Structure 1
Amino acid sequence: MEPIQDRGMLMLLVIGASGNVGREVTRLLAESGEQVRVLTRNPGSAAVPAGVEVVRGDLADSESLESAMKGADGAYSLMRPDPDATRNLAAAAASQGLERIVLLTSLAAEAADTPLGLQHREAEQAVEATGLTWAFLRPTNFASNSLAWAQSIRTEGAVRAPFGTFKSAVIDPRDIAAVAVAELRSPDQANRVHRLTGPQVLGLTDQIAIIGEVLGRDITYVEQSEREAHEELLARGVPAPVAESILAGQRGALTQEQHVYDTVQQATGRPAAPYRDWVTANRAAFAS
């Protein structure tokens, strides 16, 4: 990617600013001096840096999207499971003549023969069809997914999860955000796919061991059945089709070779952070 050049202040829209990645995208853009606008369903509860404009809207509301995009140079958005949401995003961006869309999907988009992969790839295709410049962020497993274990680690010193042999090159959401920001601020009008990983492939038990080392305590791994894991996801408010897709993706990954990509280094000029750094930064969430 070309280095960021001085091209004057940009107006950039962030959709999904309350998420692990979107929140960091918003912060980094504000610190870089860009004009930032955030689209949210609940403006009154939005916690954003000083100077960030907050507007009410939703990906399901085409009119609010078009209004939020007026005057914007580019937009970052995570994909939603609802295909209409991404189509609305694409149509609004095209109608308002945005220079660039940065869409967060996942590496699952490269396995379009799976329900989750098809869902992510169809979202990308909706953006491609606009004819606008785009960048797709395809990360692997988020380090922040480990927060699902926080309560059981605090109260029981244990992690319950299925697929004990599951491995991934887990990535810090802050690195995904840094790549998103580099794309939003780049003067280069090129379409790009970013395969995003952390610096090392880690097994599930490797991650648990690292958390234990940071906390200075032993943490036990307890194998869950898929049924138990599915019920737990539902209890956390994950929609049933999404829960099924998550588990299917993890099951499929058991037999897939896991890769490490240096995309974060290429896009930002610094290497991806190790999982231990993320755990250390979020130690309080796991500490009893």
Structure 2
Amino acid sequence: MILVTGATGTVGREVVRRLPSDLAIRVMARDPARVTGASATAEIVQADYGDPQSLVRALCGVSAAFLVTSRVGDDDARFIQTARSAGVRRVVKLSAAAVADRRADDLITRWQRDNEDLLRGSGMEWTLLRPRSFMSNALSWAASIRTQDAVPALYGSSANSCVDPRDIADVAVRALTEEGHAGRTHMLTGPEAITALEQTAQLAELLGRPLRFEELGSEQARTALRRRYPHDLAEALLESAERQREGGKARVEGTVPALLGRPAGSFRGWARDHLSAFASL
């Protein structure tokens, strides 16, 4: 039995869609009604990291699990402890590329480092997926593109080797269903480092209309982030943007093509497949 957590999130829902229907699959979600793309044979269960008994039920009989957490706190610790007690053999964890950057010391990166350490010390087989920023982060511009033909962002000329979430999901499925990934850390990037200015130009070309890039100042960005996130998380995201400005997110890795036997997906390809999100109202 394979358990998929984070099944309604950006990567988890793609993992659910890609797992072979002839395997025993259990899908875990806080709100099962939001799960899409699961095979007719998949079991969908309601569970929450903060509810220990629901985790016990979700992990009963599971041999391999895809672990995704998003709330800074003890969710990983609860899951790992319960999984070990339930006899889970293999855990594939979605982490972050920043963990490998010694200059990164923000709240989110420290939390992910601690979580990786917990998994490595659990006694279970582990595989760590460390993706660079998701190409789907560009969806945060969708409303302003639809209504104002504008892309507001920090540091428009700084490059990020962002990755298609579908590539992350393809690697996750390999790690869950194949041998040879235990004890390995997979750094996942797209095929090139691309700037927000370049992304804006590509979106404009695909949409067939001009878009303007609006460079945000640091305080403008801070104000915008604090509308959406608690103070510590907003500051962590600003620190992350500063590392990108300094070139810390431009390195391209060959892991995706090496594991999947094909080129990593480009931003243009991702944008083409999600263009309706940016179309004018």
For the criterion TM > 0.5, the same-fold answer is yes
User: Does residue 185 of structure 1 match 2:174?
Assistant: no
Tell me which residue corresponds to 1:75.
65
d(CA) in 2 for partners of 1:52 and 1:128? 29
Structure 1: gaps spanning 5 or more residues: 1-10
User: Does residue 212 of structure 1 match 2:201?
Assistant: no
Tell me which residue corresponds to 1:33.
22
Report how far residue 119 of structure 1 moved.
1.5
Deviations 1:102-146 (A, max 9, x none): 111111111355123212111111111111111111111110000
d(CA) in 1 for partners of 2:169 and 2:205? 27
Tell me which residue corresponds to 1:103.
93
Deviations 1:13-47 (A, max 9, x none): 11101111000000101x45222111111223433
* Bigger mean CA offset, 156-165 vs 39-48: 39-48
d(CA) in 2 for partners of 1:185 and 1:93? 18
Structure 2 counterpart of 1:161, one-letter code: A
Q: 1:42 aligns with which of 31, 43, 54?
A: 31
User: Does residue 119 of structure 1 match 2:111?
Assistant: yes
Structure 2: gaps spanning 5 or more residues: none
Q: 2:77 aligns with which of 60, 72, 87?
A: 87
Q: 2:54 aligns with which of 52, 55, 64?
A: 64
Structure 1 counterpart of 2:44, one-letter code: V
State the secondary structure of the residue aligned to 1:83: coil
Tell me which residue corresponds to 1:6.
none
User: Does residue 244 of structure 1 match 2:235?
Assistant: yes
State the secondary structure of the residue aligned to 2:213: strand
Is the 2:151–2:200 Cα contact (8 Å) retained in structure 1?
A: yes
Structure 2 counterpart of 1:136, one-letter code: L
Q: Percent identity?
A: 36
* Bigger mean CA offset, 77-86 vs 266-275: 77-86
Structure 2 counterpart of 1:287, one-letter code: A
Q: 1:146 aligns with which of 117, 135, 138?
A: 138
State the secondary structure of the residue aligned to 1:72: coil
Is the 1:102–1:137 Cα contact (8 Å) retained in structure 2?
A: yes
d(CA) in 2 for partners of 1:105 and 1:230? 24
State the secondary structure of the residue aligned to 1:211: helix
d(CA) in 2 for partners of 1:42 and 1:198? 31
User: Does residue 287 of structure 1 match 2:247?
Assistant: no
Report how far residue 270 of structure 1 moved.
1.7
State the secondary structure of the residue aligned to 1:214: helix
Is the 1:74–1:184 Cα contact (8 Å) retained in structure 2?
A: yes
Tell me which residue corresponds to 1:4.
none
Q: 2:129 aligns with which of 125, 128, 137?
A: 137
What does residue range 190-209 of structure 1 map to in structure 2 within 5 Å?
190-209=182-201
Is the 2:52–2:78 Cα contact (8 Å) retained in structure 1?
A: yes
d(CA) in 1 for partners of 2:137 and 2:131? 13
TM-score (structure 1 length as normaliser): 0.91
d(CA) in 2 for partners of 1:46 and 1:172? 20
Structure 1 counterpart of 2:26, one-letter code: R
Is the 2:32–2:44 Cα contact (8 Å) retained in structure 1?
A: yes
d(CA) in 2 for partners of 1:119 and 1:55? 27
d(CA) in 2 for partners of 1:39 and 1:222? 39
Report how far residue 265 of structure 1 moved.
1.4
Is the 2:155–2:215 Cα contact (8 Å) retained in structure 1?
A: yes
Is the 1:42–1:56 Cα contact (8 Å) retained in structure 2?
A: yes
d(CA) in 2 for partners of 1:65 and 1:101? 15
Structure 1 counterpart of 2:81, one-letter code: A
Aligned residues: 276
Structure 2 counterpart of 1:252, one-letter code: R
Report how far residue 248 of structure 1 moved.
0.8
State the secondary structure of the residue aligned to 2:65: strand
| Distance 1:98-1:81 versus aligned 2 partners, 3 A rule | same
Is the 1:59–1:85 Cα contact (8 Å) retained in structure 2?
A: yes
Deviations 1:56-82 (A, max 9, x none): 111122222122111111111223343
Measured on the aligned residues, the alpha-carbon RMSD in Å equals 1.6
TM-score (structure 2 length as normaliser): 0.93
d(CA) in 2 for partners of 1:131 and 1:201? 36
